[in-house]
Amino acid sequence: MLSDINSPQDLKKLNVSQLNTLAEEIREFLIENLSVTGGHLAPNLGVVELTLALHYIFESPKDKLIWDVGHQAYVHKMLTGRMDRFHTLRQYKGLCGYPKCSESEHDVWETGHSSTSLSAAMGMAIARDLKRERSKVVAIIGDGALTGGMAFEAMNHMGHEKRDVTVILNDNEMSIAPNVGALHNYLGKLRTNDGYKRVKEEVESVLKKVPAVGGTMAKLAERLKDGLKYLMVSGILFEELGFTYLGPVDGHDLPTLMEALRQAAYTKGPVLVHVITKKGKGYTPAEADSDVFHGVGTYKIESGEVLKTEGPPSYTSVFAQTLEKLAETDPRIVAITAAMPGGTGLNRFASKYPERFFDVGIAEQHATTMAAGIATQGLKPVFAVYSTFLQRGYDQLVHDVSRQNLNVLFAIDRAGLVGADGETHQGVFDIAYMRSLPNMTIMMPKDENELQHMMYTALQHNDGPIAVRYPRGSGEGVDLDTEYKQLPIGKAEILRSGSHVAILAFGNMVPTAQKAADALAAEGITPMVVNARFAKPLDEELLFTLARDGYTVITLEEGAVQGGFGSAVLECYAQAGYHDMVVELMGIPDYYVEHGSVKEQRAEVGLTPENLAQKVRSLWPARRQRA
C-alpha cells in the first residue's frame, strides 16, 4: 500500500482500516531505512497516525502544516512524494533530515531548533487574513518545545488576536531527555483527567436549557463554567490564554484523532488539540530507550543494538569526565543543561552530584541568565550547550553575563561542522557572535588532552565569562595526562618552527595544519605551525613577532570567516599599524553548509590538508617568484 502513496491526495482514497495498515507499513519502512542511514527514529515512530490524520483532514500545501523542530517530519516527507529518496536521508546532497522548502511545496517552514512553530503560524495566519485567503494554519509542537519561552510569547499573542490557528500539542512526555518542570507536571494532570471534558459538556448542555435572563444570567453562566475549570483541573492554562482546548486525544487512535482535527478545523479562533503519543511507538528498543533512539546512528533491527566503531573517546565524554573529577575537590562547581543531559555528557554528573545539577528544559535564555545569577554568589556555573543552541541565549550572553563580567563557563559542544544534522545545527557562528563581546575569553583545544587542561584553566579563571569550545565526535587518540595544568590566557603554542609562512590553526584545525605541513616537508617547504588556542585574547606578542620577521600568515578555523578568528588577527594587525603584510583567511564561507559527513563538508568549503598545502605553496617565496 505504501508504494501507492505519492501525495496527500492518495490518502483520502483510503478508509480507516486501510490507514491503520498503512501506519504499520510506514513504521516498518522507517525502522528498516533508518537502520542504514541513522536519523531521528523514535520521534517519527510516535507521530505516524498523527501525520496521517493531519494530511487526511487538511489540504496541504494550501493548508499550512508547520512542524516544530522538524526532526519528526519524516512521515510527512514520505507522504509528500519523497519516499523514493529516503535512502539518501541526511547524506551529502541527499534528503534533509528537517523540513526544507526547496525539497517540496509541502514544507512551508524550515526549522531545526524548537519553539518557533507558533510564531511562524501566527505570521502565516496574519498574512492569510490580510490577503483574504481561505486556508488553515496548523502548528505541530511537542510538549518539550512548549517549555521554550518563545512558544508562550506566541500563544499570548494568538489568544489576544483570536485568529484562526490550530495548535497540535504532541505530548509524548519527552523532548530528547525526559521533560522537566511545572508545565510537564501540568500536562500530566490533563492527561489523567478524563472527566473534565465530559462534565464541562454536561454543564454547558444544562445552561443552554435555562431561559436567558439578561446579562446577569449570562455572566453567571460564564462564572459557573470558569469555576468548573478550576475545580476539575488546576490552572486550565490554555483556555485562560484564549484557546479552545480539545483533548486529551489518543494520538494512535485514528478515528478519534481525525474527529478531533475535524472539530478543530471548524472551530473559530485559536484551538489547541492535546494529542498523547508514545515516542518510539511500534519498535520495542525505541520504546524502551527513546533517548538513545531520538537521534540514532546505524543499528541492528532485530536487537536494536546501536553499531559503534571503536576509537578514541569523544570530546563530549572527556569534557564530562574532567568536570566530574574537578567537582570532587571544588564544591562550588554547578552544571547546567537545557534538556540535553545525555547529549552534553552530564548524565553521570547528575547522578553523582544531583544537588549541583540543573536541567532547565528547552530554555537556553533562562539557563544563561540563571548561570549568571549563580555566578553572582561566588559559585562556578558551567553551562554545557551545543554551539547552535547557545545562539538562542545571545541576548542573555550580552546583557546578563558579559556586561556584568560574571564568571560563567560556557562548555560549547558541537563547535564547528556537525555533519548529518546540517545547516540548522552547524556550530560555526559562536566565535563571531562571542568575540565582539567585552570581557569574553574564547579558547579551543587541539585535542582531547588539551581539552582537560582548558577546562581546568577555565575553572581557575576569575576574570569574567570564558568559553571552551570543542567539536562533535571522537578525539585524536592522544594520551590523557593524569594531572591538569593551567594554561596562560591568551598564549599560543608553536608546534613547528618554520620560515616564510606561518599557519595559525584554531582548535580542531590543528591536525589539518599538521598533515599539510607533513606533506609540504617532502617538497622542502617548511611553514611554521601554531596552535592558536585562543580566539580572544590573541597572542599579540607572537603576531607582532611574525610581522616583524616578514612572515605571511594563514589563519585556519572551522568557523565563519566573517567576524571569526582570522578576522580577529586582521583587526589586530590593522590596529597595530601593520598594513603591508599578507594575511590569508581559511574558514567557513558566507553561506549555510548543508548536511553530509564532516569530511564532505570540509572538502566543500576547502578546509582539507590538500587545500591548505596548496595555499602554502601559492604563498611560498620561491613559488611566488616563479609565478
Q: Pick from 41, 44, 47, 52: which is nearest to 17 by CA?
A: 52
Residue 11 contacts by C-beta under 8 Å, 6 or more apart in sequence?
5, 19, 22, 52, 55, 56, 79
User: Using an 8 Å Cβ cutoff, are 530 and 495 in contact?
Assistant: yes
Q: From 57, 68, 79, 73, select the one nearest 4 (Cα to Cα).
A: 79
DSSP 336-359: EESS-TTTTT-HHHHHH-GGGEEE
Place of cell 548536511: 595
* Phi, psi of 541, deg, nearest 5: -60, -45
- The residues, ordered by sequence, that sit 6+ positions from 538 with a Cβ below 8 Å of its Cβ are 490, 532, 568, 569, 572
Q: Which of 49, 173, 324, 364 is catalytic?
A: 364
What are the start-end ranges of the H helices in 194-297? 195-209, 214-232, 237-240, 254-265, 284-288
| Catalytic site residue from 64, 82, 136, 279 | 279
Secondary structure letter of residue 78 according to DSSP? I
C-alpha cell at 461: 579563571
| 279 given a catalytic annotation | yes
Please confirm whether the linkage preceding 61 is cis (ω < 30° from 0).
yes
**Apex 574 CA angle, 612 and 465, nearest 5:** 80
Active site residue 281: no
Cell of residue 273, nine digits: 488539540
**Entry field: residues in the chain:** 627
Closest CA to 419 of 94, 101, 114: 94
**Active-site annotation holder among 392, 446, 536, 615:** 392
Residue type present at position 241: L
Burial of 259 (0-12, 13-18, 19+ CB in 10 A): middle
Q: Answer yes or no: are the C-beta atoms of 363 and 399 closer than 8 Å.
A: no
What Rg value do the Cα atoms of the chain yield, rounded? 27
Which residues are annotated as catalytic?
279, 364, 392
